[in-house]
């Protein structure tokens, strides 16, 4: 079982839809949870960052962490064509005295006008 699992999609939704992106993980040592967004031919950029279980909201984006189920989600409300990108979950843990960041493989999202 991989440490971090993310459905690669692709996911195609109409403009205005609510989008749910998810990752599961197997190692309870992960403590910090992030979502990065990557546009085509660009580097990833940090979208959301959470530490504890629960929800964190930023505009149309909500990040949810459920440590008991080892499950994280990113919700996008009122999705826009400009949200079309690949979304990468990432989570970090302490390993061998240093911090290690593990990325999911990414979910490609297309929002159709």
Partner 1 sequence: EAQVTQNPRYLITVTGKKLTVTCSQNMNHEYMSWYRQDPGLGLRQIYYSMNVEVTDKGDVPEGYKVSRKEKRNFPLILESPSPNQTSLYFCASSSHGVNEKLFFGSGTQLSVL
Question: Interface residues with partner 1 (CB under 8 A)?
Answer: 8, 32, 36, 41-46, 49, 88, 92, 98-101, 103-106
Q: How far is the CB of 46 from partner 1 (least distance, A)?
A: 5
Confirm if 113 and 15 have CB atoms less than 8 A apart: yes
Confirm if 18 and 39 have CB atoms less than 8 A apart: no
Q: How far is the CB of 24 from partner 1 (least distance, A)?
A: 15
Q: How far is the CB of 47 from partner 1 (least distance, A)?
A: 10
Q: Which is nearer to partner 1, 37 or 79 (CB)?
A: 37
Q: Which is nearer to partner 1, 45 or 66 (CB)?
A: 45
């Amino acid at each position: 079982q991989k440490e971090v699992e993310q459905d690669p999609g692709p996911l195609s939704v109409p403009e205005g839809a609510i989008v749910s992106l998810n990752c599961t993980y197997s190692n309870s040592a992960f403590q910090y949870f992030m979502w990065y967004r990557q546009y085509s031919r660009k580097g990833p950029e940090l979208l959301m960052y959470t530490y504890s279980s629960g929800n964190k909201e930023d505009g149309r984006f909500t990040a949810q962490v459920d440590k008991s189920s080892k499950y994280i989600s990113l919700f996008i409300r009122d999705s826009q064509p400009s949200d079309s990108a690949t979304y990468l979950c990432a989570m970090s843990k302490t390993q061998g005295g240093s911090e290690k960041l593990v990325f999911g493989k990414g979910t490609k999202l297309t929002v159709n006008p």
